[in-house]
Structure 1
Amino acid sequence: MWWRRTGILTVPRQTHIVKVARSPLPLLSVSCDSTARLQSRRSLAMAQDSGLVLVTGASGFIALHVVRALLKQGFRVRGTVRDAKNDRKTKPLRTCYPEAQHPVELAEADLLDDAGWADAVKGCQLVVHVASPFPNAEPNHPDDVIRPAVEGTRRVLKFAADAGTVRRVVLTSTMGAVHGEVDTPADREYDENDWTNVDFKGLETYAKSKTLAEKAAWDFVNALPAAKRFELVTVNPSLVFGPPLHGAYGTSIEVVKRLLDKSTPLIPYVNFAVCDVRDVAKAHVQALIVPEAAGQRHIINSGNVWLKDMAHMLREELSCQGYYIPFLSAPNIGLWLVGFIDRSAKMLYPRVGKVFKFSNKRMREVLKVEPRPIRESVLDTAHGLIQAGIIHEAPKYVRKELRLD
């Protein structure tokens, strides 16, 4: 872990939300075999009757891509933010998909406060719970990450159950809830049947928080009485790369940012399982509408890549455009020593030389999402960071048109 429609509706707390007419959705792209066509018709029928979707933490890196993907499919979207008056946070929601059939609605809500959640969920048939803290280094106080992740998840699910209209909730979990222990075998492929051991001594706080939050979600839904029960689906992405929308970028792409801004002078011998935020967004939409996804976990993963290979991809693309990309390897002892003063480096040291692989079978076969090439994800992350102004634009930089779908 180095790791427009152009309007916006604000839903104040305690304010009645007026239903608007639904619009038919465009057909989703599917394969040609009869089974896929049948699944597509069933999914489309569900989507056309889906009504309003609540997306929590809507201004975040992943959530903003999810909002865009939902708007493109014709969904009505309501997003939660902590401060609806913060234009820096809300403007991206107004501009992420200018052709939207409906303006995005906003509701103020905080993961650690009941206020606002009843109004946020009111009238919604679907919920995508994305909001969760993602630190770029081990926090001094783990509860600063664990508490909002677990309590926030329970809070969202409670108000979804109380609303009486919610049919399905998609929870954004993480690959770290599937496997997070660095001393376990690396000679096997992990899948949705695997769970991270939260008692593992060296487990990162983020992985622990997401594992506990996901387990709390399954326990909560399973304990609901039949009259209040809804379907739960989880999406478990690996390290998420891809272009940020309007400057909203996540901790997960810090690894690319650091290669570009010279804050990583030497390259550690570390390997990452990675995916693309555009595939993650599509997976969330599919998780909402595919009947077979109900009650299941879904790993979203493109494959594995060494940090040195990522640096090589970036050098090939950008060195001639005025960007210096490091090429020297960091000695393991050096990374260990740096770990005493840099908590990000300390998190990486146990992963040196290890490769952990993850299945994407359910991603492909159930959600019908084909991962894009890792090279495309890495390079589009870099171009996105430059074009968003997060990384300086060199005089020789050649602007690349980024595909956001």
Structure 2
Amino acid sequence: MTTTNSNNNTTVLVTGGSGFIAAHCIIKLIEAGYEVKTTVRSLTREPEVREMLRQGGIEVGDKLSFTEADLSNDKGWVEAASGCTYVIHPASPTPLKGFKHEDEMIIPAREGVLRVLRASRDAGAKRVVLTSAFGAVGFGHKPGKEPFTENDWTPVNDTVPAYQKSKTLSEMAAWDFIKTEGGKLELSTVNPVAVAGPILGTDYSHSISIIQNMLYGKMPGCPRINTGFVDVRDVADLHLRTMTDPAANGERFLAIAGESLWMVDVAKILKRRLGDKAEKIKARNIPNWVIRMAGATDPVAKEITPMLDRNMNATSEKAMRMLGWQPRSAEDAIVATAESLFKFGIIK
């Protein structure tokens, strides 16, 4: 384990320590010699988080401390941010199923971000790195030829699903806060596409379910959906680079490995690399009309219908050029996801 002594007296807060991206950020920070604080909604989750980190190859000992704090209220955030030079904020309310109005998703996401920014400013932190999303960049646009960049923003209109809208509005609120009441606090954002890579336990991001459902053989084939992929370990690495590089202040960074992929490409990668373990995967396209018809009664089909045949390619040229970031391939990230799902017995 590599440690850098110069970071020993620097404390970093990582919000939502049981989260997929958060746990990998904690691993990277401890390996780099930082002291880390993390928040959990209930302190009963501390043993679970420590076990996840153990699965990731590190014993954190007293280099990690826990504070109970929930994004939906103020309690605990002042204590959590106290003494921290940097704050990495991946925690976010999970996508709700069956919500009646999109505000049920949008308001908690925005309020949670502002709560963390206020606590960070009041604690005298230097910089917050907000984990935003490709959802705040590449949804709701007219089809185009060029890959999405950090200059693109998802328009906040009725064509955009509630989750992506919540990511867009909460990131916009963060930039407004910095401009109007942030004081000396600096802000940068990391906007990952679908995050793949090794899970560390049974709590992981909804992006993983794409690969999980394929391996289960639940899908009769692949909808004509296109998405970028990036490995969670590289997303964590980008958070650390963004946290300390002076040039990253005030910047957004897209995180994608190579070109985006069609679902059928993902199926073919898994079949080629996993052999018999991928025998249930059906590497063929489902016609769009089938998905549209299913959307009349199936909420999942309805949700993906607007994404059919849309190229969601993006570029991480900025992160590579400014921060020297070099992600592993999307293929390796996808295979690492699958292998970890087998390792934890989630796929038998």
Same fold (TM over 0.5): yes
Deviation of residue 86 (structure 1)? Answer: 3.0
Pick the aligned partner of 2:269 from 313, 320, 344. Answer: 313
Aligned to 1:146: 106
Deviation of residue 232 (structure 1)? Answer: 0.5
* Structure 2 counterpart SS, 1:244: coil
- Letter matched to residue 120 of structure 1: A
Distance in 1, matches of 2:47 and 2:222, equals: 34
Distance in 2, matches of 1:92 and 1:283, equals: 24
- Contact 2:82 2:123 survives alignment (8 Å): yes
Aligned to 2:298: 342
Number of residue equivalences? 346
Pick the aligned partner of 1:160 from 117, 120, 124. Answer: 120
Of Structure 1 and Structure 2, the greater helix share is in 2
Distance in 2, matches of 1:184 and 1:330, equals: 23
How does 1:1-400 map onto structure 2 within 5 Å?
25=4, 48=7, 51-86=10-45, 89-92=48-51, 95=54, 96-100=56-60, 102-135=62-95, 139-164=99-124, 166-181=125-140, 183-199=141-157, 201-224=158-181, 228-302=183-257, 303-321=259-277, 323-392=279-348
Deviation of residue 252 (structure 1)? Answer: 0.9
Instruction: Give 5+ residue unaligned stretches, structure 2.
Output: none
Q: 1:112 to 1:137 in 2, by over 3 A?
A: closer
Q: 1:210 to 1:306 in 2, by over 3 A?
A: same
Distance in 1, matches of 2:341 and 2:13, equals: 28
- Letter matched to residue 84 of structure 1: L
Distance in 2, matches of 1:214 and 1:322, equals: 38
* Structure 2 counterpart SS, 1:358: coil
Q: 1:319 to 1:338 in 2, by over 3 A?
A: farther
Deviation of residue 141 (structure 1)? Answer: 3.4
Point out the structure with max Rg over C-alpha.
1
- Contact 1:138 1:204 survives alignment (8 Å): no
- Letter matched to residue 270 of structure 2: L
- Contact 2:143 2:311 survives alignment (8 Å): no
Distance in 2, matches of 1:86 and 1:289, equals: 29
Distance in 2, matches of 1:388 and 1:211, equals: 33
Q: 1:123 to 1:372 in 2, by over 3 A?
A: same
Instruction: Give 5+ residue unaligned stretches, structure 1.
Output: 6-22, 27-46, 393-405
Deviation of residue 91 (structure 1)? Answer: 3.5
Distance in 2, matches of 1:253 and 1:279, equals: 16
- Letter matched to residue 328 of structure 1: R
Distance in 1, matches of 2:278 and 2:288, equals: 30
Instruction: Percent identity, please.
Output: 36
Deviation of residue 386 (structure 1)? Answer: 1.1
* Structure 2 counterpart SS, 1:154: helix
Q: 1:136 to 1:324 in 2, by over 3 A?
A: farther
- Contact 1:189 1:358 survives alignment (8 Å): yes
Distance in 1, matches of 2:106 and 2:39, equals: 20
- Contact 1:80 1:107 survives alignment (8 Å): yes
TM normalised by structure 1 equals 0.80
- Letter matched to residue 25 of structure 1: T
Q: 1:321 to 1:209 in 2, by over 3 A?
A: closer
- Letter matched to residue 167 of structure 1: K
Q: 1:322 to 1:234 in 2, by over 3 A?
A: closer
